[in-house]
Structure 1
Amino acid sequence: MKKLGILAIALLAQVSFAQTNRFVYQVTSKPDITNKNDIKTENAYLDISAEKSMFYSENRIKRDSVMQANRQSGGARGFNREQMDGLRTNINYTIEKNKKDQKTFYKERIGRDQYSYEEDRPLNWKILSETRKIGDYKVQKAETDFGGRKWTAWFTTDLPYQDGPYKFNGLPGLVVKAEDSTGDYSFDLMKNYKISDFPEMTTFGNVIKVKRTDYVKQQEKFKADPMSFLGSQRGGGGNSSPRSQGGGGGNGFSPEVRKRIQDGVKDEIKKSSNPIELK
């Protein structure tokens, strides 16, 4: 009986350890450099397990759920345009951190494909002696320069995690709050709870693995000529595509549709003229 009791405790501990912890952050941003009064606020999830963590938009999961339900019904339900517009997100990326080898991977859509790169710049933190209380947590101040911005973070050792929203990690605790010096971007921990596992992310198009510097180049190419990323090939899987190098030229689009797409992309680019990483 004693052995059975020990085994039960061990199994319970294993199940508890295997659970994923979800931290909900409120993300505030001013993505349009020409209109700092246009402030965007939405929630994002940081899901943490023993092996990895993922940071992504709450609305991304909600939109995926709506689209999945529509596909399962064979499109019979149709899309509620107002509902889908209400689930738009400014967090179009997903960030995964591998705990074992301490690697950070960034994934975002360009055109029809998903581009993924491994972050190659370390976060060099300066930990300061200043402390305070944020919510229920005692936090300590730290600073870093990253992506062309100066960041201030407040981390806590009250929780057994060395992680944070976005690409932030490397501190001896969990980042409760992070804000850049201009006040353009901030991440604030709102709540946390346990979930059974990481959600399954819907991926459209190909997943193309590149170096970070090449990803930046592809972004610039897309801004200059978005139609070259929207070639005649549609959807599909795999790890590479002719469109990944800007090929295709927008084959199959009428002049009217082509102009509408270009105008839409230009409008989105304008609204995203103040990115979280400036360099």
Structure 2
Amino acid sequence: MKKIGIIALALFIQHISAQNNRFVYQVTMKPDAENKTDIKTENAYLDISGEKSLFYSENRFKRDSTMQKAFQSGGGRGSINREQLEGFRTNISYSIEKDKSSQKILFKDRIGRDIYTYEEDRPLNWKMSSETTKIGEYKVQKATTDFAGRKWTAWFTTDLPYQDGPYKFGGLPGLIIKVEDDKGEYSFDLMKNYKIAEIPALNQFGNTVKVKRADYLKQQEKFKTDPMSFMQNSGGGGFPGPPTARGGGGGGRNQNPADMRKRMEERVKEEVKKNSNPIELQ
């Protein structure tokens, strides 16, 4: 009986570790450098499995699901409710995948009609503090780091068996419950968590282009000055967007190309202005 009990316990632990968990973070952002009173708030998911984790926008997930259902029902793009999609606009256009075995962090973001992906090449060097407190139901410990031009303070808990966290953060002895930069311009706060059947495959739309981080930044700057050069051969629809407008394009099939170019350039300039205070400053 004792042997059977040990086997049952081992199987139970294996079952628990094999489950997929979703952690929902509230992300608070001040993306406009000229208007710090313009505060954006939305939810993002950190889905964790035994092999990897994936961080992405809740609105993107809802938008992808809405589009997927429209195409599966045979209605195609024309059957999609544009107002509904507008409600799913997001400031978190990127997704971040962390591979547990290789310890690699892969960043993916859309520029024009393609997905650009790079492997994060900067390590997170945490300074551990003995300071502890309680956030919600969790006892948490403090750690700090300098990353991408900002000073970050994180609070992690060993109550949850994951060395992970939102965005590119991770590598602490527990799950990050809260992380915020010292200017209070970006913060991630855990709201809730629950089990999920599997980590979803995000719709990619277009080609995936693997680049170095420096090349991604160059392409991003080029898009800001000449967005139409990224939209050639995209069929007139596409997903033209720097940060908040990702997936907000389309609807240009019968328009004059010169008018389309002008509209797109104006929209990109407006988005660039609204996103002049990115999460990464360096």
Counterpart amino acid of 2:72?
Answer: Q
CA contact (8 A) 1:45 1:55 kept: yes
1:106-117 mapped onto 2 (5 Å cutoff): 106-117=107-118
Q: What is the alpha-carbon distance in structure 2 between the residues aligned to residue 12 and residue 156 of structure 1?
A: 23
How far 1:258 moved relative to its partner? 1.1
Match of 2:66 in 1: 66
Q: Is the 8 A contact 1:128 1:141 kept in 2?
A: yes
CA contact (8 A) 2:53 2:97 kept: yes
Structure 1 position 17, deviation (Å) = 2.2
Q: How much does 1:269 deviate?
A: 1.2
Q: Deviations over 1:202-257 (max 9, x none)?
A: 1111000001111111111111111111112449xxxxxxxxxxxxxxxx961011
What CA distance in whole angstroms lies between the structure 2 residues aligned with 1:150 and 1:209?
29
Q: 5+ unaligned residues in a row in structure 2: which ranges?
A: 237-254
SS in 2 for 1:31: coil
Q: Cα gap change, 1:13/1:278 in structure 2, threshold over 3 Å: closer, same or farther? A: same
Structure 1 residue 44: deviation in Å?
Answer: 0.4
**1:75 equivalenced with 2:78 (yes/no):** no
CA shift at 1:8, angstroms? 5.9
Any idea what SS the aligned residue of 1:102 has? coil
Instruction: State the SS of the aligned residue for 2:153.
Output: strand
Q: Secondary structure at the match of 2:79?
A: coil
- The one-letter code of the counterpart of 2:217 is V
> C-alpha distance in 1, partners of 2:92/2:209?
19
**Offset at residue 74 of structure 1 (A):** 2.3
Cα offset, 1:18, TM superposition: 1.5
In structure 2, what is the Cα distance between the partners aligned to 1:116 and 1:146? 19
Residues in 2 aligned to 1:232 and 1:173: alpha-carbon distance in whole angstroms:
46
Query: For residues 183 and 13 of structure 1, what CA distance do their matches in structure 2 show?
Result: 39
* Aligned match of 1:38: 38
**Identical residues among aligned pairs (%):** 69
**1:270 alignment partner AA:** K
Are the structure 2 counterparts of residues 106 and 256 from structure 1 closer, same or farther at C-alpha, using a change threshold of 3 Å? same
Q: Following the alignment from structure 1 to structure 2, what is the Cα–Cα distance between the partners of residues 278 and 16?
A: 39
Structure 1 segment 78-89 matched on structure 2, within 5 A? 78-89=79-90
1:2–1:135 Cα change, 3 Å? closer
1:129 is displaced (CA, Å) by 1.3
Q: Distance in 1 between matches of 2:4 and 2:73?
A: 48
Q: Compute the displacement of 1:66 (Å).
A: 0.6
What does residue 219 of structure 1 align with? 220
Which sections of structure 1, spanning at least 5 residues, go unmatched? 236-251
Tell me how large the CA RMSD over aligned residues is.
2.0
Counterpart for residue 50 of structure 2 = 50
How many residue pairs get matched?
Answer: 263
CA distance in structure 2 between the partners assigned to 1:2 and 1:129 by the alignment: 41
- Whether 1:134 aligns to 2:128 is no
Where does residue 264 of structure 2 map in the other structure? 261
Structure 2 partner of 1:148: 149
Q: Distance in 2 between matches of 1:147 and 1:125?
A: 14
Report the equivalent of 1:100.
101
> Is the 1:176–1:189 Cα contact (8 Å) retained in structure 2?
yes
Counterpart amino acid of residue 90 in structure 1:
N
Please identify runs of 4+ aligned residues in structure 1 that moved more than 3 A.
Answer: 1-15
TM-score, length basis structure 2: 0.88
Partner secondary structure for residue 188 of structure 1: strand
Output the amino acid matched with 1:119: E
Query: Which residue of structure 1 lines up, in the alignment, with residue 164 of structure 2?
Result: 163
CA gap 1:137/1:264 in 2 versus in 1, 3 angstroms: same
Counterpart of 1:191 in structure 2 is: 192
Q: Can you list the C-alpha shifts for 1:4-45, whole angstroms capped at 9, x where unaligned?
A: 877666554433322111111000001111111111101000
State the AA in 2 paired with 1:57: S
**Counterpart amino acid of 1:269?**
V
Give how far 1:180 is off.
Answer: 0.5
Contact 2:113 2:234 in 1 (8 A): no
